[in-house]
Chains A and B, each alone.
Chain A
Amino acid sequence: MGFEVKNISFFYGKKKIIDNLSIRLERGRFYGILGPNGSGKSTFLDLLSSHRQPATGGVFLNGKNLTAYSRKQLAKEIAVVPQNFHINFPYTVADIVMMGRYPYIPRFARPAAADLALMEKVMHQAEAFEFRHRFITELSGGERQRVVFARALAQDTPVLLLDEATSNLDIRHTMALMNQVSEKTQRSDGLVIAVFQDINLASVFCDELVFFRNGAIVDHGRKDEVLNPDTIRTVFEVESHVEFEPFSNARQVIFRR
């Protein structure tokens, strides 16, 4: 179970962003997506979340085409932490996190006690609880990212898509967030697909790595098999040294000037 992506392509105008791409993404695993800027990583997440529709091919979740799901059903299956989150209206942090429960609460109903309890739990998890009454417009970039992460957790979905979700976080919050995410894949058989800029961070936490270049997958597999200087060279055009690092218990990439 999980995603099955079959021969999808996507265009912006005439420019091809995703080029006849196929991949299976299984439950219970943490996938890291790596690739240069403009290689189609974010667009790929948009296609997985059905925010955009592929021009050809199809994306299947648990054996069923995404187009066959209603929006509300999908919101209970897939949560997204988008890359940029700016907002002009002074919602409080608690308001924003509660929006993660909207797919479960009938249109004119009040949130149930269980919704409120879950909301409090995820705010603690994302370390956003202490500023829950502040306005989202007044938070720093990192605090805002934690709020959006809390909202995605509140959605309580088997699938979680992260688009550079730690780009504004300090190292302590990055570690905390990544640990929770990988726990989700191990404990509750969740599926996490995250776009990374930091190859070494991806290597520490992910089970599998997927390398993108020009809208196609260059290499994909268990991180110990695919993370090597050849892949880094093909994908990023950078020379590197890759070695197993015992402290992080993962392969790490080292660069030089």
Chain B
Amino acid sequence: MLFLGFFLCAVIIYTSGLGYVPISFGNVFKIIYASLFDHAAIVDHVDRLWPTIIMDVRLPRILTAAAVGGGLAVSGVIFQGLLLNPLADPYTLGVSAGAAFGASLAILLNISLIGTFSVPIFAFLGAVATLLLVTYLSASSGRLSSNNLILSGIIVAAILAAGISFIKYIADEQVAVIIFWLMGSFASKTWTDVALTVMVVCLGFLVFIYFARDLNLLSLGNRTASSLGVGTQRTTLLLLVTASMVTAVCVSVSGIIGFVGLLVPHMMRFVTGPDHRKLLPVSLLAGAILLLVADTVTRAVLPEEIPIGVLTALIGGPFFCYIFRKRQAGREQSL
């Protein structure tokens, strides 16, 4: 875990140096150190432009990518544990469809009352409204059961997907903007985005780790959890809402980035086992590293920037198939 933490810091510094203007690891470190501790003297010898490139252009983007990656990964852990379903991900309850619908609507109607933030805010509102609707639908039978939640999530997401298709159909010139937003991007992120995502992801993570042990019990089913001292309804609802909030904030700053929330918890479960007290922190760090590396690939390695959501699905999907297959084969041999 400590190793992953150091690795994340190293990756952040290293990737800050990559791009159109390459800057060495040591210089990046000095620049960050200089601006953190107000120590301008040690960067006198470097190019005047470099600190601006690092601090104002690259670092906000990099930190947002890392925070979103970590946030999606831990939300994935929570959803899989709560819904007793290893196939769940942060988007299972229709949060992504709600956010996408909100964003599409904002782009279509060209709403800009709140300036550049109108699309993220609409995305966030869409996500939260969807979450409320889904929990309302599944709680109408009196209890929150995982099957009800998944079913309501799928129904609401299907309706919203049709709505998005309709918006795309009637939008003429904005259709490209909508599609690009849907595929996700970290381009031109600011320190405001960083502050927002890092804060929400950290808060969410604290809540999750506090309830990590209860989550172990909940992942064995409600009856077991309640007989071992967990207030199932309250804890489930609290974790569900927190995880959805984290997801909604991530989606609203970055667009829809698939597979991180599904893939990272699975990969990490192979390493740490399913105990959430270990799985959560490791997933947070691994998700951050994974999405950061993926974003760096689209930003600095590929000749042309492609949407990050496409990249994560294109690389993550086959990779997941591979490890899944390998694991199945390994299990058959051991039996």
Q: Report which A residues bind B (CB closer than 8 A).
A: 46, 49-51, 71-72, 74-76, 78-80, 82, 85, 87-92, 95-96, 99-100, 102-103, 107, 138, 155
Residue of A nearest to B279 (CB): A89
The contact of A91 among B86, B213, B275, by CB within 8 Å, is B275
In the complex, given contacts A89-B86, A155-B228, what are 11 additional A-B residue pairs having Cβ atoms less than 8 angstroms apart? A75-B227, A76-B229, A78-B227, A82-B221, A88-B84, A89-B81, A91-B216, A91-B274, A91-B275, A102-B228, A102-B229
Chain B nearest CB: distance from A76 CB in Å? Answer: 8
B110 at the interface (CB under 8 A from A): no
Query: Does A89 contact B224, Cβ atoms closer than 8 Å?
Result: no
Q: How far is the CB of A110 from chain B (nearest CB, A)?
A: 11
Chain A at the B interface: mostly helix, strand, loop or mixed?
Answer: mixed
Contact of B227 among A79, A87, A89, A96 (CB under 8 A): A79
- The reply to whether B213 and A49 contact each other, CB–CB distance below 8 Å, is no
Cα distance A186–B216 in the bound complex, in angstroms: 34
What's the Cα separation between A85 and B221 when bound, in Å?
8
Q: Are A89 and B229 in contact (CB under 8 A)?
A: no
**Bound state CA distance, A239 and B160, in angstroms?**
59
User: Are B223 and A46 in contact, with the CB atoms below 8 A?
Assistant: yes
The answer on a CB contact under 8 Å between B219 and A87 is: yes
Q: Is B289 an interface residue (CB 8 A)?
A: no
The answer to the question of B282 belonging to the interface, with a C-beta cut-off of 8 Å to chain A, is no
Q: Is the CB of A82 within 8 A of B228?
A: no
Residues of B that sit less than 8 Å from A by CB:
81, 84-86, 210, 213, 216-217, 219-224, 226-231, 269, 273-275, 331, 335
Q: Are B227 and A49 in contact (CB under 8 A)?
A: yes
Most chain-A Cβ atoms within 10 A of its Cβ — which of B220, B230, B273?
B220
CA distance A79 to B231 in the complex (A): 15
Q: Looking at B221, B274, B331, B335, which has the most chain A CB atoms within 10 Å of its CB?
A: B274
Expressed in whole angstroms, the Cα–Cα distance for A155 and B216 within the complex equals 16
The one of A71, A78, A107 that contacts B231, using a Cβ cutoff of 8 Å: A71
Q: Is the CB of A102 within 8 A of B213?
A: yes
**Contact for B86 among A71, A72, A88, CB less than 8 A:** A88
Q: CB within 8 A of A71: which of B230, B331, B335?
A: B230
- Contact B223–A99 (Cβ < 8 Å): no
Contact B229 A103 (CB under 8 A): yes
CA distance A55 to B298 in the complex (A): 59
Query: What's the Cα separation between A91 and B224 when bound, in Å?
Result: 15
A88: chain B residues at CB < 8 Å are 84-86, 219
Contacting B274 at CB < 8 Å: which of A80, A82, A89? A89
Are A89 and B210 neighbours in the complex by a CB distance under 8 Å?
A: no
Please name all residues of chain B whose beta carbon is closer than 8 Å to the beta carbon of A95 when the two chains form the complex.
Answer: 216, 273-275
Q: State whether B86 touches A99 (Cβ < 8 A).
A: no
List chain B residues, Cβ under 8 A from A87. Answer: 84, 219-221
Q: Which residue of A lies closest to B231 (CB)?
A: A71
Question: Given A91-B275, A99-B216, are A51 and B210 also a contact pair (CB < 8 Å)?
Answer: no
Distance, CA A49 to CA B217, complexed state (A): 16
A89 with B219: CB separation less than 8 A: yes
CB distance from B230 to the nearest CB of A (A): 6
A51 nearest in chain B by CB position: B226
B89 to chain A, nearest CB (A): 14
Distance, CA A49 to CA B226, complexed state (A): 9
What is the CB-to-nearest-CB distance from B279 to chain A, in angstroms, rounded to a whole number?
10
Q: Determine the residue in chain B with the shortest Cβ distance to A49.
A: B227
User: Are B274's CB and A99's CB within 8 A?
Assistant: no
* CB <8 Å contact, B231 and A91: no
Shortest beta-carbon contacts, A-B, top 5: A75-B229, A80-B227, A89-B274, A72-B229, A103-B229
CB nearest neighbor in A for B224: A82
CB nearest to A82 among chain B residues: B223
Interface pair B274/A100, CB less than 8 Å apart: no
Which of chain A's residues has its CB closest to B277's CB? A108
State which of B85, B228, B231 has its C-beta within 8 Å of the C-beta of A103.
Answer: B228
Distance in angstroms from A152 CB to nearest chain B CB is: 8
* A51, A102, A107: the one within 8 Å of B217 (CB): A102
CB of A32 to closest CB in B, whole Å: 20
Interface centre among B84, B85, B221, B228 (most CB of A within 10 A): B228
* A159 CB → nearest B CB, Å: 11
Report the minimal beta-carbon distance from B171 to chain A, rounded to whole angstroms: 41
- Chain A nearest Cβ from B269, distance in angstroms: 7
CA gap between A49 and B273 in the complex, in Å: 30
Q: Establish whether residues B220 and A99, one from each chain, have CB atoms under 8 Å apart when the complex forms.
A: yes
Report how far A50 CA is from B227 CA in the complex, Å: 8
Measured CB to CB, the nearest residue on chain A to B220 is A87
Q: With both chains docked as a complex, state the minimum distance between the C-beta of A36 and any C-beta of chain B, in angstroms.
A: 22
A71: chain B residues at CB < 8 Å are: 226, 229-231
State A92–B216 Cα separation when bound (angstroms): 12
